[in-house]
Structure 1
Amino acid sequence: MKTPYKWKSNLAEVIQNYISLKQHTGMKFETQERYLRHFDSFYFNNGFDGATLTKELVNDFIYDKNERPCSHRNKELVMRDFAVYLSDRGYHTYIAEVRTELPRCKFIPYILSDDEVRRFFTTIDGYPKSYLQARFSYRTTVDPVLFRFLYSTGVRISEALNLVLDDMDIDSGIATIRAAKNGKDRLIPLSDSMTKRIATFVDEFHRFSDSRMFLFPGCHNGVMGQMDKSTAYTHFRDYLLMADIPHTAIGPRIHSFRHGFAVKCLKGWVLSDNDLTVMLPYLAAYMGHSDFRATQYYLSLTSDLYPEIVKRVEAEFGYVIPEWEAVYDES
């Protein structure tokens, strides 16, 4: 069992109040809490007391020579926001500057072509059934629906595998993603074809299931339960191999469906002359992004994959397509 952290400094109470405030707004705030625990230890171990944060103190904590620039930037963000919180409550504090620039993310994820998508799902639908699989695996029944759900909605694999039957409103064609990566629920509207497929799947496969059963379950020693992400990924690799789709260092991965969904949305909006400044907030909310950095990443990715689009919108929307200056992990 993990030993709870023991707060030490004179600022311990106000730090904990700040963390509690953030968490009550719906944020997980786990990474930020970890940095604030480090700050609490730093403050205490270096003999500081009182409630004044000087520039020298804050910068000594942020710019540890043994840490990478990404840690420096994360600390800048955490300490800046914490300082604003303190300042609003009458504390004398230096508000940290966010000045560490990170290199532009050069990773371009694998986007499946239309032909690869067709071959992938043809392979899933034609996957051989056997008596043993029928007893110890639901893959030939669950996988065709699960992977179409991922492809058509762009949700994370963890979000799909956490869905229970109660989260699926078949009448309205809406799935509820609960307490996802950023600690917030969101609604996912489904296409008519996807809704009909899930309705058939639920009626046939889940006819006797409890409402709290996982929508896309796995089989563990003959017992139905939540499918592991590793199991889903193993199945995914099987289908790639059978569909003659090479798996390289950049993928494809299951997350490629999410990348492809976002890029197709943006490409379609641009080609339809939709105003990206209006559409981007919708995409951010739909994808479950905590801020616009992740959405900007997809916008930059779209411009990299379809340079002809940039030419069409540069004059009108050039300020929307940013230079990506942060390393981003949107898993």
Structure 2
Amino acid sequence: MADGWCAMSPAGTGAAATVSESLAETWSGRVGGYLKLRRSLGFDLAWHEHLLRQFTTDLTASGIAVLTVADAVAWAGALPAGQTHRPVTRATVRLTAIRGFATYLHSLDPVHEVPPRDVFGWRKTRPAPYIYTSEEIDALLAACTGLIRYDRRNLYPVLFGLIAATGLRLGEALGLGRDEVDLTDGILTITRGKSRDPRLVPLHPTATDALRDYADRIAPTRLNGQVSQTGGGGARFFTLPGGAPLPPCNVHHAFRQVTTSAGLRTEQVRPRIHDLRHTFAVNTLLGWYRDGLDVAARMPVLSTYLGHTHPANTYWYLTATPELMAHAAGRLATSQGGDLEGVSAS
């Protein structure tokens, strides 16, 4: 089939007229189920629907029941009529639409393949998140003890652990003022987030204990349970030994060291600090699904906690891993009485 995309007849003529009605209904149901799921999460996908209907009509015309990488890439990269040069943007947009659909199908049945991102030489601006296991996070924090300087061995396990436990952005963690870390009630006040509005982030008791231990070693005075520094109301919580703000470049350098030491970083896999935030969000959602909670009702809470201005940024996490996609699909099918086309609630 991969060699025949450009020569395919329009839908409804030629080969398409001989395709079994059941196969056409199967593909239509799969596309319908995918679109219903994504739209329930706040996405529009009007153009994606147009592309997917074209793609699956052509699959049907060729008698193909399973989505493969070869077929997806061949269809996305097919030359427009009358052209001899493939427009990279056009091919990438087409493949992006298929990738979302393929990820959905793969979560329901692994026989369907998911095409890679960069086939046509264009990288999506939002990279796929690296989701850490709990063992990998433990290994990452343990590797911090191998840092040469004593102050780094004490600083970075706390900083990286805080981000993993709260989902803070690196800039938010580094921007914390000492008077914004309430160690009595276990609450952070985030004033340097993307949103102009400050937000409160409650801490797990173990995170509060880790911050308190760190504060006892770096802060000479304390006021009302809040870390402070005499004459330094604007002092940061995480600093260099002399008290200056900790530069992000220092943090990224240390993170590369510890992820390499922990065996997480290779030529092919390069986990980022920001992936700790992604992992927090994904694990929170997975926990809600596994506990049988109403995830849709709790999404605004997670959105506020993470400091997202637009809820769609939080809903994106539902498509970040195949397991979450499967949970979301199953829950949506159940909520609609099992009538979600192309989706099994099992």
TM range (shorter): 0.5 to 0.7
Query: How much has 1:272 moved relative to structure 2?
Result: 0.8
Separation of aligned partners in 1, 2:323 and 2:125: 15
Separation of aligned partners in 2, 1:280 and 1:105: 24
Q: Which residue of 2 aligns with 1:239?
A: 258
Map 1:108-187 onto structure 2 (within 5 A).
Answer: 108-124=128-144, 126-129=145-148, 133-134=149-150, 138-187=151-200
Q: Which residue of 1 aligns with 2:333?
A: 315
Separation of aligned partners in 1, 2:295 and 2:254: 36
Q: Which residue of 1 aligns with 2:317?
A: 298
Separation of aligned partners in 2, 1:260 and 1:235: 20
The structure-2 alpha-carbon separation of the partners of 1:199 and 1:242, relative to structure 1 and needing over 3 Å to count, comes to same
Query: How much has 1:160 moved relative to structure 2?
Result: 0.2
The structure-2 alpha-carbon separation of the partners of 1:128 and 1:251, relative to structure 1 and needing over 3 Å to count, comes to closer
From 236, 241, 248, the counterpart of 1:229: 248
Indicate the SS of the match to 2:271. Answer: coil
Query: How much has 1:224 moved relative to structure 2?
Result: 2.0
The structure-2 alpha-carbon separation of the partners of 1:199 and 1:317, relative to structure 1 and needing over 3 Å to count, comes to farther
Give CA-to-partner distance per residue, 1:156-212, whole Å, 9 cap, x none: 000000001100111110000004112121000000011111112112221253443
Give CA-to-partner distance per residue, 1:246-275, whole Å, 9 cap, x none: 245663100010000000011011111111
Counterpart amino acid of residue 138 in structure 2: R
Counterpart amino acid of residue 291 in structure 1: H
Where does the alignment leave 5 or more consecutive residues of structure 1 unmatched? 1-67, 70-102, 319-331
Separation of aligned partners in 1, 2:176 and 2:247: 13
Q: Which residue of 2 aligns with 1:44?
A: none
Contact 2:143-2:258 at 8 Å conserved across structures: yes
Query: How much has 1:109 moved relative to structure 2?
Result: 1.0
Q: Which residue of 2 aligns with 1:275?
A: 294
Separation of aligned partners in 2, 1:183 and 1:167: 16
Separation of aligned partners in 1, 2:323 and 2:266: 19
Contact 1:167-1:175 at 8 Å conserved across structures: yes
Indicate the SS of the match to 1:224. Answer: coil
The structure-2 alpha-carbon separation of the partners of 1:226 and 1:292, relative to structure 1 and needing over 3 Å to count, comes to same
TM-score, normalised on structure 2?
0.55
Where does the alignment leave 5 or more consecutive residues of structure 2 unmatched? 1-88, 91-122, 222-228, 337-346
Map 1:1-331 onto structure 2 (within 5 A).
Answer: 107-124=127-144, 126-129=145-148, 133-134=149-150, 138-208=151-221, 209=229, 210-219=232-241, 223-247=242-266, 251-302=270-321, 304-310=322-328, 312-316=330-334
The structure-2 alpha-carbon separation of the partners of 1:216 and 1:166, relative to structure 1 and needing over 3 Å to count, comes to same
The structure-2 alpha-carbon separation of the partners of 1:189 and 1:207, relative to structure 1 and needing over 3 Å to count, comes to same
Query: How much has 1:314 moved relative to structure 2?
Result: 3.1
The structure-2 alpha-carbon separation of the partners of 1:251 and 1:183, relative to structure 1 and needing over 3 Å to count, comes to farther
Separation of aligned partners in 2, 1:271 and 1:217: 39
TM-score, normalised on structure 1?
0.58
Counterpart amino acid of residue 173 in structure 1: G
Q: How many residues align?
A: 207
Separation of aligned partners in 2, 1:207 and 1:157: 25
Separation of aligned partners in 1, 2:171 and 2:298: 26
The structure-2 alpha-carbon separation of the partners of 1:288 and 1:128, relative to structure 1 and needing over 3 Å to count, comes to closer
Give CA-to-partner distance per residue, 1:229-251, whole Å, 9 cap, x none: 11101000000111111245663
Separation of aligned partners in 1, 2:255 and 2:172: 17
Separation of aligned partners in 1, 2:335 and 2:273: 31
Contact 1:179-1:185 at 8 Å conserved across structures: yes
Separation of aligned partners in 1, 2:262 and 2:124: 34
Query: How much has 1:151 moved relative to structure 2?
Result: 0.5
Q: Which runs of 4+ in 1 moved over 6 A?
A: 103-106
The structure-2 alpha-carbon separation of the partners of 1:255 and 1:147, relative to structure 1 and needing over 3 Å to count, comes to same
